Chains A and B, each alone.
Chain A
Amino acid sequence: MNSNRKAFLAVALAVGLARSAYAADATLLNVSYDPTRELYSEYNAAFARYWQGKTGKTVEIQQSHGGSGKQARAVIDGLEADVLTLALAYDVDEVGKSGLFAADWQKKLPNNSAPYTSTIVFLVRKGNPKGIKDWNDLVKPGTSVVTPNPKTSGGARWNYLAAWGYALRQPGGNEQKARAFVTALFKNVPVLDSGARGSTNTFVQRGIGDVLLAWENEAYLSVNELGPDKVEIVTPSVSILAEPPVAVVDKVVDKKGTRAVAQAYLEYLYSPEGQEIAARHYYRPRLAAVAQKYAGRFGKAPLFTIDEVFGGWAKAQKAHFDDGGVFDQIYQPSK
């Protein structure tokens, strides 16, 4: 029996196949959240061109995507990300706390280290059959709302906080009323996916729900990918200003010797070209000139920040999303 020799040949063949055909001067790993796939596949190519033009060196950028909280967990457990581009500051804070970089990471880049912003909008079926116009339409009986799980998804936490902030800002709004409002909203949620992209697929592909609470960019992408004959976007009267932050992972870049290129990678997001790419993918640019150019793309409704309404991420996370927090108290899976 020559199974030994066969096995050896198989291994040799596979190893031969697996060897990398291409080696760049530097390799960066960007660990990101779900809806940024298309943004970074374009941005990575642009940055590689810019970097080669500036330094003469090639850079290869690898991507990993998933729910923001899940991705942060993987980096804490040893996924060697050079840069993080996550959905919210809390997840980046958690990675910092595990010892990979200092707590003041948000001060290292302009605009709270958030090179682009976004907000939460509604995606409804073509023709808006349920007549959904604003947040208070979501709590009506018989309206089915799709949102990911705030425990694992960054986008879902923004959704939740946007609804809470809306209720709080209504005439006579207070904590009790906001809580009752969000409780009623989650009564209308039939399924909680773990990430934003999963929820989008649930809504669009599986046809579940009357309205999807989604990142503005994710909503536009769905309309573009799946056709305006299927879904349309509704901008509520008020929403939250979402600031998805970016950070260099100090421990990793120092070990790999990639600090300069990692830093440049994030800084270039603030450049006119980086901002243009972000705007093209429906992220709201920070740079005034680019914002002006793409102003027609984005809704004009007022946006409140998490600092104004909730006193920052750390507080919001503790009060609402930690084990035993408000979300755990109000959410009952629907029968």
Chain B
Amino acid sequence: MKRRVLTEPKPVRVALILVSLAFLAVSLVLPLALVFVEAFSKGAAAYAAAIREPMALSALRLTLLTAAIAVPANLVFGLAASWAIAKFDFWGKNALITLIDLPFAVSPVISGMIFILLFGRLGTFGPFLQGHDIKIVFAIPGIVLATVFVTFPFVARELIPVMQASGSEEEEAARVLGASGWQLFWRVTLPNVKWGLLYGVILCNARAMGEFGAVSVVSGHIRGKTNTLPLHVEILYNEYQFQAAFAAASLLAFLALVTLLAKSFIEWQTGRRASAGSVENEA
């Protein structure tokens, strides 16, 4: 009888579960399934042809290249920033935390515009870049910059709470025992935050590959040159090549699913580690 008081009446529970399941089905499962159904609507051969098409391959390459630069850059930045914020007290710390969140708050289109205003032909650094024949916007550097900007909160945001929670006692102990700075970082700090770090990297990577708005502004949409996979999907759709558009979209959906799986795996690992840790503590 005691349990009954603590839980909602059964109809309420069932209704809540049904509502969330229906919502999930309509907003997530259905569209995702549709992407794959449409992608294969003309058979596996047409699907393979759409993906092997040179423009699609070049878009895929550019997307991977962008992520391969943006993610490590944000990994280094995220580690540095979260380390500084979690372990030290300094003037302007709250301002730094707010600034890290800025890309979340700003519309991606505005993020792209910022780079046009800075590096465009008529922008702040335009004449200098023109004079030295350096291309940033409407070329790969601009796409990478915009992606780095949009994705930079992910790693730092994941790491700050983890670093704060792990405290600095272990580091202080290592210091007293004579560890050097690098030893401290590799042997104590990094192992403590590695799961949080991976989680942040995965989220960062997912966003880097999927970013549309900011990249669309700085890309110039040159086929085979500055088109990323999300932009390629839009182009195909606008050219009445619906099956090919969905085939390219399915690649993105596939990358997202892999990311999701990796994320679940990491959550499971951290969960196991946490429970193992609490057992150890009790013992």
User: B238 to A198, Cβ gap below 8 A?
Assistant: yes
Is there a chain A Cβ closer than 8 Å to B65's Cβ?
A: yes
* Known contacts A7-B75, A13-B68, A198-B238; is-contact A78 B126 (Cβ 8 Å): yes
Interface residues of B in 135-187 (CB under 8 A from A): 135, 137-138, 140, 186
User: B238 to A197, Cβ gap below 8 A?
Assistant: yes
User: B222 to A1, Cβ gap below 8 A?
Assistant: no
Residues on B with beta carbons closer than 8 Å to the beta carbon of A78:
116, 119-123, 126, 130, 135, 137-138
Interface residues of A in 82-110 (CB under 8 A from B): 98
User: A18 to B224, Cβ gap below 8 A?
Assistant: no
A148 to chain B, nearest CB (A): 13
Is there a chain B Cβ closer than 8 Å to A79's Cβ?
A: yes
Is there a chain A Cβ closer than 8 Å to B221's Cβ?
A: yes
User: A3 to B62, Cβ gap below 8 A?
Assistant: no
Is there a chain A Cβ closer than 8 Å to B69's Cβ?
A: yes
A268 to B61 CA separation, bound complex (whole angstroms): 34
A302 to B41 CA separation, bound complex (whole angstroms): 44
Is there a chain A Cβ closer than 8 Å to B277's Cβ?
A: no
User: A18 to B61, Cβ gap below 8 A?
Assistant: yes
Residue of B nearest to A38 (CB): B239
Is there a chain A Cβ closer than 8 Å to B263's Cβ?
A: no
B138 to chain A, nearest CB (A): 4
* Known contacts A14-B68, A63-B223; is-contact A77 B120 (Cβ 8 Å): yes
Is there a chain B Cβ closer than 8 Å to A26's Cβ?
A: no
User: B121 to A77, Cβ gap below 8 A?
Assistant: yes
Residues on A with beta carbons closer than 8 Å to the beta carbon of B225:
62
User: B222 to A63, Cβ gap below 8 A?
Assistant: yes
Q: How many residues of A contact B (CB 8 A)?
A: 32
A197 to B221 CA separation, bound complex (whole angstroms): 15
User: B240 to A77, Cβ gap below 8 A?
Assistant: no
Is there a chain A Cβ closer than 8 Å to B72's Cβ?
A: yes
User: B220 to A64, Cβ gap below 8 A?
Assistant: yes
Interface residues of A in 1-26 (CB under 8 A from B): 1, 3, 7, 10-11, 13-15, 17-18
Residues on A with beta carbons closer than 8 Å to the beta carbon of B119:
78
A191 to B120 CA separation, bound complex (whole angstroms): 31
Residues on B with beta carbons closer than 8 Å to the beta carbon of A65:
221, 235, 238
A80 to B120 CA separation, bound complex (whole angstroms): 11
Is there a chain A Cβ closer than 8 Å to B255's Cβ?
A: no
* Known contacts A11-B68, A78-B137, A79-B138; is-contact A1 B120 (Cβ 8 Å): no
Residues on A with beta carbons closer than 8 Å to the beta carbon of B238:
34, 37, 65, 197-198, 201
Of B65, B220, B240, the contact of A17 (CB 8 Å cutoff)? B65
* Known contacts A63-B223, A77-B116; is-contact A225 B121 (Cβ 8 Å): no
Residues on A with beta carbons closer than 8 Å to the beta carbon of B220:
64, 74, 79
User: A225 to B64, Cβ gap below 8 A?
Assistant: no
Chain A to chain B contacts (Cβ below 8 Å), 22 pairs = A1-B186, A1-B191, A3-B75, A7-B72, A14-B69, A15-B65, A15-B68, A17-B61, A18-B61, A18-B65, A63-B222, A64-B220, A64-B223, A65-B235, A74-B220, A76-B122, A78-B120, A78-B122, A78-B130, A78-B137, A201-B237, A201-B238
